[in-house]
Chain A
């Protein structure tokens, strides 16, 4: 088992900087998820660790070894790809056996290991089949078996669930975590753009954007204490609503001037926000922390519904304050709403987030 450490790693493709001075530590036996939108550099980071790409700058360590110049075949990492990348001309048995054969493991030992892993993953009945004869879930198990059979130091997974249907994805998410983290206890780096996967599987999440690491922390940390607007907006379903305005002070109270509305900021935030009076700031509220009613309440503000998405258990409503920017709130099912209807909203005073508008960094 091994720790993986990336030190100031840069990878460019022509003029595009895919990975921009990334420093990241993945501890031994840790399950790290690289999370970010498409094109943020997370897969490139994984490929750098695997050795499929060479860094332009920086160092990559696996265990005690600096692996920059070490060929992927000798890094003792295993990788599961989005498309599983099974060899179509080989049976399941041959697919699983292949890395052992390349490592010149004796035939009898290969056979023993393949059967052992196949039993472990419940695919011993599929050993004589070809990949095209398997379902997506079965193919994924074979890809996992091929990776596990080598007993690697580090497991790399590149969006391995994205080709599965929603139901199977939920099941495999749980199984993967149990298998890799709880049972095998292998250091795992898992790439996904699906934040639900990241939240449910990771020990730690590294949120990436535009080739940079935005924040590294436990799932709860990145959810509760986002380091910047990007993380705040990326983590959470539906995404956080952002209210931009100027911070002003009136009679020892702070307000966010939203144009047509002056939003009263609770006293709790006074000391943290006071140095920013007069500046443009962004206030973030998670849709679950916005309470919407049909009648005015104390400290509520008026809004107008411009769209809604009923999900069965709850409904997402999109509303505006002054007719321009849209915000999202979650309302319980059964609430009578309609398009263009006037509603009243207020926030949970304990659950507000504030960011500098200029840099996007979190203030509170």
Chain B
């Protein structure tokens, strides 16, 4: 009886491992394919059925990439864009989250519900109005102008609000009795305690900004101001065809910081998910 139970349990574990491995392979296969293709010639990479071993093995795609004059500039632009967005979100989303979680003001909950409702509006709907605003501000083709649109966003605000709600009320009461108004409480108590949530916001926003394509494509015009994803697409797109293998190589190079970041900070990403799943 006992051994049959043990066998059933082992069977379930084996099945779980198989299913998880299958899904992991399915999710990883485009990345593996990209990695392999980045060492192939375009002729081999475009063959059907797909081939998985580079023959001949070539570094030509990477050479083309690093020969691009604007490649370092695009990396700098992307870093600047991501940096501005991370800084903006840490500052504004944490302040907004604090206000929604801990301050009492008329219409607070209605305003927060309205903010959440924004999540249901597709980005394409706001693209044109945003373009007009940025155009009127004279910030088209400007990294700062593009970043301005994303300095605060709803998911980050929501995450910070949830985190501040999870902190014990007594700490806030103690701070108030000890002489802190709302602003001092934010800077002396909330921000230092919010490091895990701020870490999660930073990682999410960095990943989003580093990989952003649509925004930079619409709002940036001159190649010098492009971010990496747009720059790569621009560099290897010809009038009749596109050189995909250098783009693939470029995408892998571009993905490197995000992969490193994910490995180093994935606890913050998980923390972020846990916080958002917390009490409302």
By a beta-carbon cutoff of 8 Å, the part of chain A in contact with chain B is: 47, 50-52, 71-73, 77-79, 81-83, 85-89, 98-99, 102-103, 146, 150
- B179 adjacent to A73 (CB under 8 Å): yes
- Which residues of chain B are near A52, meaning CB under 8 Å? 173, 176-177
Main secondary structure of the interface of A (DSSP, over half): loop
Contact B181 A85 (CB under 8 A): no
Given A99-B179, A102-B178, A103-B179, answer yes or no on A88-B193 (Cβ-Cβ < 8 Å). yes
Chain A residues, Cβ within 8 Å of B168: 83, 85
Of the residues B170, B171, B178, contact of A99 by C-beta under 8 Å: B178
How many Å from the CB of B136 to the closest CB on chain A? 43
**List of B residues within 8 angstroms of A51 by Cβ:** 176-177
Chain A's closest residue to B193 (CB) is: A89
Given known pairs A73-B179, A73-B180, A73-B181, the reply for A85 and B193 (CB within 8 Å) is no
Known: A88-B193, A89-B192. A81 touches B174 (CB 8 A): yes
Q: Is B59 positioned at the interface, with any CB of A under 8 Å from its CB?
A: no
Q: Are B177 and A78 touching (Cβ within 8 A)?
A: yes
Tell me, yes or no, whether B189 is within 8 Å of chain A by CB. yes
- For the complex formed, measure the closest distance between the CB of B106 and the CB atoms of chain A, giving whole angstroms: 16
Flag if A50 contacts B177 (CB, 8 Å). Answer: yes
Q: Which of A79, A83, A85, A86 has the most CB of B within 10 A?
A: A85
6 tightest A-B CB contacts, nearest first: A102-B179, A85-B174, A85-B170, A99-B178, A89-B192, A81-B170
Q: B221 on the interface (CB 8 Å rule)?
A: no
Partner among B170, B171, B180, B193 whose Cβ is within 8 Å of the Cβ of A102: B180
Q: Whole-angstrom distance between the alpha carbons of A87 and B187 in the complex?
A: 13
A146 to B171 Cα, complex, angstroms: 13
Shortest CB-to-CB span from A312 to chain B, Å, is 37
**Does B267 sit within 8 A of A, measured CB to CB?**
no
Contact of A79 among B174, B180, B181, B188 (CB under 8 A): B174
Given contacts A82-B170, A85-B170, A99-B178, 12 further A-B contacts (CB under 8 A): A51-B177, A71-B181, A73-B176, A79-B173, A79-B174, A81-B174, A83-B170, A85-B168, A87-B175, A87-B193, A89-B193, A102-B180
Task: Report B231 CB to chain A, min CB distance, Å.
Answer: 42
Q: Known contacts being A85-B170, A85-B173, A87-B171, is A146 close to B193, with CB within 8 Å?
A: no
Which among B170, B176, B178 is the interface contact of A98 at CB below 8 angstroms? B178
Contact residues, B176-228 vs A (CB, 8 A): 176-181, 184, 188-189, 192-193
Which residues in A have their C-beta under 8 angstroms from that of B184? 102
Q: Please name all residues of chain A whose beta carbon is closer than 8 Å to the beta carbon of B170 when the two chains form the complex.
A: 81-83, 85
Residues of A within 8 A of B192 (CB): 89
A334 and B178 alpha carbons, distance in the complex (Å): 55
Closest to B180 in A: A102
Whether A72 lies near B193 (C-beta < 8 A) is: no
A73–B193 CA distance with the chains assembled, in angstroms? 22
A72→B177 contact, CB < 8 A: yes
B171 to chain A, nearest CB (A): 5
